[in-house]
A and B are shown apart, each in its own frame.
Chain A
């Protein structure tokens, strides 16, 4: 009867080992069904938890340690230097350029992909012929590995043979090659920043659209109809049903995209590597160039940790959403 008494939750381990009468008391504690189930369960969990703990948790703590030391590639023994890596980073101009660019990049790109993603989702939610094909084509930028598609963009942004310039020039929107009206996308500071942002938008707007689409289609028409029957007004339906059902989905999507955008190095590294003259320097490229190329592991770790306060809101939002979700 033990399994019935143990409540609504069902688990094969619990429900099958039915202790009968006095025999249950005779079992030593480590052989009781629930302890054996826990042991079994945590044994199954151990490999994954250990792997992630050793290669994500420990390195994260290690990077805190590195950031407080003068570790470098050449010198194996590191000295504790306190907050020097952080303060010296704060004193360099290039660091503040990187912070500013990172913020402009992230916020600007978010606005653009929010707009493109929302409008696209409203189109894709309609029933029409060829919907699956269109969806399959329009998500290609998200599914193709970013380091690969960036190479295509690099070629399209070529200073002389840019196909974009050819088209714009043909339309009369820009001047001829060699004149000041011929944009050199990756060579002019403002244009370079706009270009790397646009490639990020290009990569992510299908994701925004699909996540929004998932949110829209997750609200079943029956619930809306039921609310209508019960006399809910449009605003009530929107506030009490649609927003609470869609919001958690959008939060998770937004958190994912923010983390990707903040931490992605490949677009800027491959297109401009921070140039021209620091115009597209962002924290990831600065951390990479300082830590790996320059060999100053401690300073590189400190710079990458400056990303953490920017990442934190996204992660907290995600955590809260996931904890509220019902499974």
Chain B
């Protein structure tokens, strides 16, 4: 009996180790598929030009010392600095427009028991699914009517078409979780309905507001078609478009600086989006990931 009792924890541990090993082995191919392209981009961005074009040695590592030349090239020889500023400005303006419209809309849909609120909410959310490929041609007319052709301002006007629906929906969910009592208390204390929204509901809904700003940023950077269709002047492009179209001369690809320019924006966006991914999934499916 004593021997069995001593052995039990051991075999349990062995079982745990075996289970973990199996899971890790199973996960390895997925991890390699998911992460390798990004790693490869990183290695490429840090390699010297001659090191990129060698097939006789293992390409996964450096055979000449790593360099930051590709990054320098971006800022000295291309409009990358402008693209960064454009991307940031676009995202800031889009966030502002989104907050100014989606916060009141989400609040009204969630809390004011308006007739048709449910259907209206769904209708707004559905517009998020009307893809840019159906809208970009008529919107190109709108953009040129507004005189915004070939400036990044055209994207400031257009991106809210998908950030407003998404963020309204997201904020609707957040506002529903704020207890009615605190609002009532504020109104008893003399706030109007609008005052209660500004002074009481918004301050406790700040996670929703921050999430909306994050998604205004990340969703704006996921776009390619609108920028491709509306902006063709080099200095006016946002980063994804600029990198994809300006670092290629005829048939010559500047792979090192292409990867450098792509990652410099792609990695921060991926990290931030990653942190808020559960909220994105909850926002669209209504399910909470545990």
Cβ of B259 and Cβ of A14 under 8 Å apart? Answer: no
B9-54 residues with Cβ-Cβ distance < 8 A to A are 19-20, 23-24, 26-27, 30-31, 33-35, 37-38, 40-41, 44, 52-53
- Chain B 90-102 per-residue mask, 1 if CB under 8 angstroms from chain A, else 0: 0000000100111
Chain B contact residue count (CB 8 A cutoff): 109
> Which residues of chain B are within 8 angstroms of A288 by Cβ–Cβ distance?
133, 136, 225, 228-229
A252 contacts partner chain B, Cβ-Cβ < 8 Å: yes
Which of A52, A63, A152, A210 lies in contact with B137, CB distance below 8 A? Answer: A63
A40 CA / B262 CA spacing, docked (Å)? 45
> Given the known A-B contacts A62-B141, A144-B266, are A163 and B40 also in contact in the complex, defined by CB atoms under 8 Å?
yes
> Which residues of chain B are within 8 angstroms of A323 by Cβ–Cβ distance?
118-119, 122
User: Which secondary structure dominates where chain B touches chain A?
Assistant: helix
A80 contacts partner chain B, Cβ-Cβ < 8 Å: no
Cβ of A270 and Cβ of B23 under 8 Å apart? Answer: no
> Which residues of chain A are within 8 angstroms of B64 by Cβ–Cβ distance?
none
> Given the known A-B contacts A153-B37, A217-B289, are A301 and B137 also in contact in the complex, defined by CB atoms under 8 Å?
yes
A4 contacts partner chain B, Cβ-Cβ < 8 Å: no
> Which residues of chain B are within 8 angstroms of A297 by Cβ–Cβ distance?
137, 140-141
Cβ of B113 and Cβ of A51 under 8 Å apart? Answer: no
Cβ of A315 and Cβ of B129 under 8 Å apart? Answer: yes
Cβ of B285 and Cβ of A214 under 8 Å apart? Answer: yes
B287 contacts partner chain A, Cβ-Cβ < 8 Å: yes
Cβ of A151 and Cβ of B258 under 8 Å apart? Answer: yes
B130 contacts partner chain A, Cβ-Cβ < 8 Å: yes
Shortest CB distance B110–A (Å): 9
A66 CA / B141 CA spacing, docked (Å)? 10
Shortest CB distance B193–A (Å): 6
Tell me the total A-B contact number using a CB cutoff of 8 A: 318
Which of B38, B161, B193, B258 lies in contact with A40, CB distance below 8 A? Answer: B193
> Which residues of chain A are within 8 angstroms of B158 by Cβ–Cβ distance?
55
Cβ of A47 and Cβ of B105 under 8 Å apart? Answer: yes
Cβ of A140 and Cβ of B34 under 8 Å apart? Answer: yes
Cβ of A148 and Cβ of B34 under 8 Å apart? Answer: no
- Chain B 104-139 per-residue mask, 1 if CB under 8 angstroms from chain A, else 0: 110111011111011110101111011111111111
> Which residues of chain B are within 8 angstroms of A15 by Cβ–Cβ distance?
184
Cβ of A249 and Cβ of B193 under 8 Å apart? Answer: no
Cβ of B112 and Cβ of A13 under 8 Å apart? Answer: yes
A155 CA / B40 CA spacing, docked (Å)? 9
Chain B residue at minimum C-beta to C-beta distance from A326 = B286
A/B interface sample: 13 pairs, CB < 8 A: A44-B105, A48-B104, A52-B124, A134-B27, A140-B38, A143-B274, A145-B266, A155-B255, A155-B259, A206-B34, A214-B285, A262-B133, A263-B132
Supplied contacts A42-B114, A128-B23, A143-B274, 15 more A-B pairs, CB within 8 Å: A11-B111, A12-B180, A12-B183, A13-B193, A40-B108, A45-B104, A148-B244, A152-B262, A163-B60, A202-B37, A211-B281, A259-B131, A263-B132, A265-B228, A311-B129
